[in-house]
Amino acid sequence: MWLIGIVLLSFFAIAEEIEMVEEEVVYHNIRDSGQYAEISPERRQWFKELRNPNLQKNHGWTSCCDDADVYDTQFRVNKTTGGDEWFYLYEGAWKRVPPSAILWDKQAPDNRAYLFLWSYDRKTVLCFIPPTGGI
């Protein structure tokens, strides 16, 4: 009988540990929990409606914002190749913005550049809005 009790206690301890891990994952997914209350309704709507149709193939959705966070960083552009190649600074190294992530037809309300990294891994570029007027 005591063996069954130990097995049950072990099961509940494992279940509780699994719940804690799930809570940690949710905690790291940043969502608007009121911290962006000062943003104008127009700007909030712009972010909400921002879509990249190229995401559908690899991720199954098109929203830049729902599963991504804006990564505030520095940008560079290489115009020597005949087309704009955009780079962003990530953890001390320059990384190329994938062409499929660049939304040339979008313009941010404040004319800044915006880079959206997937909330899941904080590395995958989902969307990039080039700044209006260059950098």
pLDDT band at residue 42 using 50, 70 and 90 as cut-offs: confident
Nearest to 71 by CA among 135, 123, 130: 123
* Torsion, Cα of 24, 29, 31, 36 (10° steps): 100
**Domain ranges, residue 4:** 1-30
Q: Would you say the pTM of this structure is higher than 0.85?
A: no
pLDDT digit string, tens, across residues 70-129: 888 999 988 777 678 999 999 999 999 999 999 999 999 889 999 999 888 888 899 999
Q: Are residues 54 and 111 in the same domain?
A: yes
DSSP string, 43-75: HHHHHHH-B-TTHHHHHS--BSSTTEEE----E
Does a structural domain hold residue 35? no
Q: What is the number of structural domains in the chain?
A: 2
